[in-house]
Amino acid sequence: MDPKQMHPETLLAQAGGGIDPQSGGVVPPIQPSTTFARDAGYMPLNPENTYARDHNDAVRQAEQVLCQLEGGAAALLFPTGMAAIAALFRTVPTGGRVVVQSGIYWGTTKWIREFCERRQIVMDEVDASDVTALRDICARAPAHLVWVESPSNPWLKIVDIAAAAEAAKTCGALLAVDSTAASPVLAQPLALGADVVMHSTTKVINGHSDVLGGVLITRKLAPFWNEIANDRASAGAVMGPFEAWLLLRGMRTLPLRVERMCQNAMAIAAYLQDHPRVEAVWYPGLSSHHGHALATRQMSGGYGFLMSVLVKGGREEALCVAGRLGLFHRATSLGGVESLVEHRHTIEPHTGIPENLLRLAIGTENSGDLIADLGQALGH
Ligand SMILES: *Cc1c(COP(=O)(O)O)cnc(C)c1O
């Protein structure tokens, strides 16, 4: 069957291709060689491979799968999500302008702020879940890049990607979407008009909290894309063969994991919403969530595995609940099979994040066990 005709589950279950012709293995081999031989006439034995900085079969296989999942024209893997983000922003010229959603992944905001200062790039931050505000700020002056994140981490805001694409067009900018918290299973930003989609593959795409990685996928081949590909090859921010192989292995179960995590998250959000010790639950699957209708339109198969819970009381009460959890590990990150809890204010005290907020990254455990753990931690 032509991979282009496969449904995502089928494509992913066999990620990395069919039978390895050399060994007959049903999984791809790992080729760690950094360099590749030439024949007596000095032609590469394999025309695709001369040196591993830019030529790695496992990286190409993983890129192909991710590209097809997002319906893009090309994909590029990077050693981390941040390296992917940085590669895209480096295409913005000195003195340029970018529009960036406020209240997103703190590592992204921090890096972009510092980068823009170094490059004399104007950076306008805006709550992009407010379409009017986004339109207004885009219309103010020409820009090179509009950056949004949906659902956003840890505020769980939903951005109307089709409307953001229109807004970006009015100022001549590319729209890039960090879709890490949605995964390629639940959302398809390129189909809604985004120019570039980015994932931290460290999170649910690999899914086992054991490989760092990031990916950019473009809707169209264009000069900015060649610039990124060229810079990756020359500057060398590449993923290694072992990481790419592990990523392919992790991706094979992506749809199953996402399905289970979304079901768990929905059950947990519903439970917490009614809990007397909980002030609020931010989860797009709840009808009380301000972005629920939009998320229902824009996502399919679930609302993700990330939520924020505001514990009644303040910092002490929230930290007490986190401290009493037994199944949830107290650690940063999301998208792994194991559930995690994080007191975000400890990590980003200057961003206006509520002191009583706990971010939950729901895993694939039994939802009853997770709910029981939350119940004992919250007390009655
Ligand atoms: C983790 C994360 C990143 C950064 O990815 P790394 O792989 O940790 O560099 C970017 N965006 C979001 C939404 C993330 O969760």
Closest CA to 358 of 294, 295, 269: 269
Task: Please report, for the domain that includes residue 65, its CATH number.
Answer: 3.40.640.10
Active site residue 90: no
Question: Distance of CA 214 to CAs 119, 185, 211, 339, Å?
Answer: 23, 16, 10, 21
Residue 108 and residue 237 in one domain: yes
Strands (E), 252-312: 278-282, 306-311
Q: What is the pLDDT of residue 380?
A: 59
The pLDDT profile of the chain, 380 residues, written as one tens digit per residue, is 887 888 999 999 999 888 999 999 999 999 999 999 999 999 999 999 999 999 999 999 999 999 999 999 999 999 999 999 999 999 999 999 999 999 999 999 999 999 999 999 999 999 999 999 999 999 999 999 999 999 999 999 999 999 999 999 999 999 999 999 999 999 999 999 999 999 999 999 999 999 999 999 999 999 999 999 999 999 999 999 999 999 999 999 999 999 999 999 999 999 999 999 999 999 999 999 999 999 999 999 999 999 999 999 999 999 999 999 999 999 999 999 999 999 999 999 999 999 999 999 999 999 999 999 999 999 95
CA-CA distance, 309 to 269, in Å (whole number)? Answer: 9
Residue 129: DSSP 8-state:
T
Does 81 contact ligand 1 (Cβ within 6 A)? yes
Residue 71 and residue 208 in one domain: yes
Last residue of a domain, one of 251, 281, 308: 251
Please tell me the total count of domains within the chain.
Answer: 2
Residue 144 and residue 234 in one domain: yes
Q: What is the pLDDT of residue 17?
A: 82
How far, in Å, is the centroid of ligand 1 from the Cα of 249? Answer: 20
Range of the domain at 212: 3-251
Residue 202 and residue 333 in one domain: no
Closest CA to 198 of 146, 256, 127, 120: 146
Report the interhelical angle of 367-378 vs 254-273 (nearest 10°): 30
Does 101 contact ligand 1 (Cβ within 6 A)? no
Residue 13 and residue 31 in one domain: yes
Residue 56 and residue 172 in one domain: yes
How far, in Å, is the centroid of ligand 1 from the Cα of 81? Answer: 5
Judged on CB neighbours under 10 Å (0-12, 13-18, 19+), 101 is buried
Residue 99 and residue 219 in one domain: yes
Closest CA to 106 of 350, 362, 356: 350
CA-CA distance, 342 to 355, in Å (whole number)? Answer: 12
CA-CA distance, 355 to 84, in Å (whole number)? Answer: 31
Does 178 contact ligand 1 (Cβ within 6 A)? yes
Task: Please report, for the domain that includes residue 361, its CATH number.
Answer: 3.90.1150.10
Residue 259 and residue 231 in one domain: no
Report the interhelical angle of 106-118 vs 81-89 (nearest 10°): 30
CA-CA distance, 134 to 207, in Å (whole number)? Answer: 32
Residue 75 and residue 129 in one domain: yes
